[in-house]
Amino acid sequence: MVSLSAIRVFYTEALLSWGFVVRHRGASAAQPAYVLPPPTTVVGAFAYPLARVLGLNPNAESEVKWGDGRLISSTMKVFLEATIAAAAGVRAHPHSTGLATAQEPGRIIASPYKGDTERGRIKTEPFESAIPRAMPVQGVGATYAPGVTVGLAWVVDGDKLARELGIQLEKLDAVAEKAPFGVVRLGSKEGFLAVDYSRSMYVKNVKLLGPGDKFRTWLYVDSTCVESLDPVATQVLPMPDLNYRSKRYYVPSQLASHNVVVPLPEHVLPLFKLVEPCRAVQAPEVEGLVVVMSYDSSSHSQKGISAEL
C-alpha cells in the first residue's frame, strides 16, 4: 500500500532544440519513431540524472524482462518498479511548428547479424551486390519539433524507490531535488533539450483525485480512465504504456496522429473527468500538472497505489 505522503513527482518543462528520437519497440529493418515520448521514455529522462547523482551506473548492461518487452539496463528496472505513473505533453509558442515524424534513409552495418550462408554470399558476390547486403539502407525515424515546449512528469512511490536503492527517504528527497534540473535529453542521445528551471521541480505535497473529479491538464492521459469534456481539444493516440503494452491515450492537441501533433495554444488546458476505478495525482501549485494512474485490467489493480487512499 502506498502512503499519500510518500508519493513524489518529478516535473520538468524544457524547450526542444530540434526534436527527439524514440523508436518503436521491436522494430528492426524499418525503424519508425513515436511522435510523442511514451511513459517509459519519460521515466528514462529522469532516471538518467537521478542515477548519476545517486552514484549508480545508468547504462549497466544486463537484459531484463519487463512487461511485454525487455530492458537493456538493470538500473532502469529499479526505477520502473517504483513508478506509479508517467506522462508527457507539448505546448506551442507563436513561432513553433508542432511535431512531425519522418523516416530518412540511412545505412546500418548488418553483416554481424547475418548467418554463415549469407556472410559467404557477401564475401563472394561482386562489390555492387555485396554492399546492399552488408550495409543495407533502411528508414530511420525521428520526430522534429523545433521550438516546442515539452512537459515531463514522473510519479513515484518514494518509500519503495528508497527501499530498492537501500537508502532513507530523506536522503532520496535530498538528491532527487536535483534530478528535474538535470534532464538533458529525451529518447536517444541526440534528443537534447533546454530545461526551464523556473518551471521544473520535485514535488512532495500532492493531492489525490478520484472518480468523478474534474481536472485540466496538458499531459496525455489514459483514455480508459477519463471522459474528455473538451473533445475538440483532445485527440486519441496509441502508445506503449509502462509495461510496453499498447494503450490509447487522450492527447491535448489541435491535431494528433502517428506522424503529426499540432499542440494547443499556450495556457489552453482541456477538461477531463476521472472514471472508475482510476485515480490521479495533482500538484496544486502547478497549473495543469495532473498525472492519471492507469488501471491494469490484467491484474485488476491500479499500479502502485491503493484504492483506500
Condensed to tens digits (0 to 9), the pLDDT of residues 206-226 reads: 999 999 999 999 999 999 999
Low-confidence winner among 35-39, 98-102, 131-135, 228-232 (lowest mean pLDDT) = 131-135
Closest CA to 100 of 164, 152, 44, 32: 32
Does the structure show a pLDDT above 60 at 6? yes
Does the structure show a pLDDT above 50 at 304? no
Q: Residue ranges of the alpha helices (H) in the chain? A: 39-53, 74-81, 116-124, 127-134, 158-165, 169-176
Class of domain 4-102+140-302: alpha beta
Is residue 31 helix, strand or coil? strand
Q: pLDDT at position 238, please?
A: 95
pLDDT in tens, 130-161: 777 777 777 778 899 988 999 999 999 999 99
CB within 8 A of 220, min separation 6: which ones?
36, 87, 88, 89, 237, 239, 249, 250, 251, 252
Following CA atoms 38, 39, 42, 43 in sequence, which dihedral angle do they give, to the nearest 10 degrees? -140
Does the structure show a pLDDT above 80 at 114? no
How far apart, in whole angstroms, are the C-alpha atoms of residue 88 and residue 65?
24
Q: What type of residue sits at position 263?
A: P
| Ranges in the chain annotated CATH 3.30.70.3120 | 4-102+140-302
CA distances (Å), origin 126, targets 131, 137, 212: 9, 18, 69
